[in-house]
Amino acid sequence: MTATTETRAQAVLIPPGQRRGFWAGLRTIVRRAPLSAFWGVVAALIIAMAAAAPATAPYPPLKSDFRAMTKPPSEKHWMGTDQIGRDTLSRVIYGSQTSLTVALGAVLFGTTVGALWGLACGYFGGRFDMASQRVIEFLQSFPDLILAMAIAMALGGGVVTVIVAIAITRIPFGGRVIRSVVLSLKELQYVEAARGIGAGHARMMFRHILPQCVAPYLILATTHLGVAIVIEASLGFLGVGIPPPTPTWGNMLSDALNAGLVPPWWLVLFPGAAITLTVLAFNLLGDGIRDLLDPRLRGSV
Amino acid sequence: MYSYIARRLVFGALTVIGVSIMVFVIMRILPGDPLVAIFGPEGYTKLTDAQRDNYMRELGLSDPLWVQYLSWVHDIVRGEFGHSFFRSESVAEMILRRGPLTAEIALFSVILSWIVGIPVAIVSALKPNTAADSVVRFLSILFLAVPGFWVGMLIVLALLFWFGYRAPMAGASLFSDPLINLQLVIGPAIVLGLGQAAYIARMGRSSLLEVIREDYVRTARAKGLNSRWVIAMHALPNALLPVITLSGVLMGLVLAGSIPVERAFGTPGLGYSMFTAVYERDVFVMQNLVFLYSVVFVLLNILIDLSIAFLDPRIRLR
């Protein structure tokens, strides 16, 4: 028992001597995992495109051109136009802004709350831990999307409510993983030593244990980004996401279906392809980060 | 074994109670005002105070919360799921009429995910790091990233575009009209099945890779057994246990995923009514359906745990 906890915790420990500069680290990544590095670049490009949406999008996302309604892709509109003549390419680009904001916000918020909760559970143990584990179990008894739907619907649509709704579905994951990491860290000698010299609870948790949770936290956060993007798109598709006319990928697909019996193919193809490419990039980047930071967690998060 | 089953069932019952409380909290307490959820923020501001009081009384929303909770639970126990805010059909009738279609889709998709996922996992694990393995791994990563409802929309479009085919709109049961029923079920089942197959292939591959390295597999080979026999009879049964558990977890993906996928295909199943309920902000229908889906999810996982206990002698013989 002790042997296994030790090896597990050691995998998480990062000796201070091995910390390198940012650029040196980056070079190691490119050399050791070129594929992950490539997808990292794709992810970075998507983020850059989203951040610079006013510059990268050829048209304003809400501007209708009534002379070009439901037009297939052409030189003027690379991805065609929708039923009221809005440029699909511009809407896809602006949609990435919304999707990424929501996904990043939800994952940061949810994983952080979960991680802090897991830290407290693992550190204090006892009745608090027991009760918390039950609550987390209840949260996990809901399929992710259904829980997010219910919360988003109850809170009413909007960027913040969608972030909260998705974040709540991410809490159990952070809680579970960080708790188990803390449980194994707690037994290590350096933590015992800190307790021995009289460190208080806050100092023990935040100064000695928390820094070692950074690697699993990062791995969790990146692997859940993709899930968050898909949930956001699904919420938009089901009409409980960010209300129109704000362009999001889910809203665009929903609009395409609402418009008539047969949606034009370019209104379906491009927003969905954007979702797929983004999720693919983040998932593969996440895999790479996981392998790099902690090969032992392979497949477990 | 019996004490394990008893313990699992008691925990299951507790979970169902906890889930019911959580559903109630989300649907009734979180928004502060359920009328906002029903009418939307804009509609709500248009109501007069008298109208608001009237609605609140009519819906039993002015009672203390614990009374509301207990009366809801009481209704559910009696099989009384209430009425939609917008339709005449009761929720119980809706579940009985539309539920079977969604259940069929879920069942077919699980079967399909095993039929596709397991052989792929075996091929991939037996010849790791070959071209076939790389292709399979990339495809499974791709399928994890593709949203099922989008694939559904593309399939509908492609069939219409190239074959002029469109699935029938009206529901039909497997027994009254199997042909129509099949046309309704097959699309969503394929989309949801392939989505799960990607997870199953990934998990099956890593699980099988681990098991193949075990001593008892080497022993079986060493005593001269045919290598296929060793894989099929010695390695596979043990490698499949975690995959069965994963299949239970994936039920969440199927149950939830069927909502947008049924919308994409226009399938008249329960997932579509869930979409309608959410779209129309039908709080009471939503509350009952969310509870139903979660209870089904919990029950299925209990079932999986029990079957694992039955299949795994380490638990069975304890």
For the cut 80, the answer to whether the pLDDT of residue B215 exceeds it is: yes
Contact of B215 with B78, CB cutoff 8 Å: no
* B153 vs A135, A145, A253: nearest CB: A253
The residues, any chain, with a CB within 8 Å of residue A166's CB and separated by 6 or more, are A102, A103, A106, A107, A110, A148, A228, A231, A232, A235
Q: Which of A35, A145, A153, A291 to mutate to test the interface with B (most CBs of B within 10 A)?
A: A153
Residue of B142, B153, B243, B274 to mutate, interface with A, max A Cβ within 10 Å: B153
- Which segment of A230-239, B71-80, B309-318 scores lowest on mean pLDDT? B309-318
pLDDT at position A26 over 90 = no
CB contact under 8 A, B145 and A279: yes
A145, A222, A227, A301: best to mutate for the B interface, most B CBs within 10 A: A145
User: What is the pLDDT at residue A21?
Assistant: 67
Confidence grade of residue A10 (pLDDT, cut at 50, 70, 90): very low
* C-alpha A6 chain-centroid distance: 30
Span A87-121, pLDDT tens digits: 778 888 888 888 999 999 999 999 999 999 999 89
- Which one of A132, A133, A140, A146 would you mutate to disrupt binding with B, by most B Cβ within 10 Å of its Cβ? A146
* Segment among A258-267, B34-43, B133-142 with least mean pLDDT: B34-43
Distance from CA of B24 to the nearest CA of A (A): 10
Contact criterion met (CB < 8 Å) for A146 and B157: no
**Could you give the percent of chain B with pLDDT greater than 90?**
13
Q: Does residue A9 contact residue A183 with C-beta atoms inside 8 Å?
A: no
Q: Is the ipTM of this complex over 0.90?
A: no
pTM given for the model: 0.86
Q: What is the mean pLDDT of chain B?
A: 83
Q: Which of chain B's residues have a Cβ under 8 Å away from the Cβ of A300? A: none
B196 three-class SS: helix
Give how far B17 is from chain A: nearest CA, Å.
9
Burial class from Cβ neighbours inside 10 Å (0-12, 13-18, 19+) for residue B187 reads buried
Contact B19 A269 (CB under 8 A): no
Q: Residues B105, B108, B113, B116: is their CA dihedral positive or negative?
A: negative
Q: Give the per-residue pLDDT at A80.
A: 75
Which 3 state secondary structure label does DSSP give B224?
coil
Question: CB-CB: which of B36, B283, B293 is closest to A146?
Answer: B293
Cα–Cα distance, A116 to A209 (Å, whole number): 11
Task: Give the model's confidence band at A12: pLDDT under 50 very low, under 70 low, under 90 confident, else very high.
Answer: very low
Which ranges of A156-212 does DSSP label H, i.e. alpha helix?
159-186, 189-196, 201-203
Q: How far is A6 from chain B (nearest CA, A)?
A: 22
Average pLDDT of the residues of chain A: 81
Sign of CA dihedral A51, A52, A57, A59: positive
Minimal-distance CA residue of chain B relative to A250 = B150
Q: How many whole angstroms separate alpha carbon B257 and alpha carbon A230? A: 11
pLDDT at A176 over 50: yes
Q: Chain B: residue nearest A278 by CA? A: B145
Is residue A139 scored above 80 in pLDDT?
Answer: yes
pLDDT at residue number B318: 62
Residue A260 — φ and ψ, nearest 5°? -175, -175
Taking the Cβ of residue B304 and every Cβ of chain A, the question of whether any pair is shorter than 8 Å is answered with no
B278 interfacial to chain A (CB closer than 8 Å): yes
Mutate to test the interface with B, among A234, A258, A287 (most CBs of B within 10 A): A234
Across A198-212, B17-31, B285-299, which has the greatest mean pLDDT? Answer: B285-299
Q: Which residues of A touch B298 (CB under 8 A)?
A: 141
Determine the average pLDDT of the residues in B285-314: 87
Cα dihedral B81→B83→B84→B89 (10° resolution): 100
Residue A8's pLDDT is 43
Find tokens 């309608």 and name the residue: B276
Map residue A188 onto helix, strand or coil.
coil
Q: How many angstroms away from the CA of A278 is the closest CA of chain B?
A: 8
Which contacts of A122-125 are long-range, i.e. CB under 8 A and separated by 24 or more positions?
A122/A178, A122/A179, A122/A180, A122/A181, A122/A182, A122/A183, A122/A185, A122/A186, A123/A182, A123/A186, A123/A201, A123/A204, A123/A205, A123/A209
Residues of A in contact with B281 (CB under 8 A): 153
Integer Cα distance of B155 and B182 in angstroms: 16
**Chain A residues touching residue B267 (CB < 8 angstroms):** none
Chain A CB within 8 Å of residue B17 CB:
no
Quick check: B150 contacting A, CB < 8 Å?
yes
pLDDT at B229 (0 to 100): 84
pLDDT tens sequence across B159-200: 888 887 777 766 666 677 777 788 888 889 999 999 899 999
Of A156, A163, A240, A168, which is closest to residue B34 (Cα–Cα)?
A156
What distances in angstroms separate CA B177 from CA A293, B108, B130, B170, one per listed residue? 55, 17, 46, 11
Residue B32 pLDDT greater than 80, yes or no? no
Give the distance from CA B72 to its chain's centroid. 24
Residues 89-128 of B with CB under 8 A from A: none
∠ at Cα A202 (A198, A208), nearest 5°?
75
Residue B145 contacts A where some CB pair is shorter than 8 Å: yes
* Average pLDDT of the residues in B10-22: 89
pLDDT tens, A223-239?
Answer: 889 899 999 999 999 98
Check pLDDT > 80 for residue B13.
Answer: yes
State the average pLDDT over residues B225-233.
84
pLDDT at A294: 62
Predicted local confidence at residue B310, as pLDDT: 84
Q: Between B206, B263, B290, which is nearest A238 by CB?
A: B263
* A-B C-beta contacts closer than 8 Å: 144
Give the model confidence (pLDDT) of B265-284 as tens digits. 888 888 888 898 888 877 77
List chain B residues with CB under 8 Å of A141.
15, 18-19, 294, 297-298
pLDDT for res B31? 56
Angle at B306 between CA B301 and CA B307, to 5 degrees: 95
Q: How far is B25 from chain A (nearest CA, A)?
A: 10
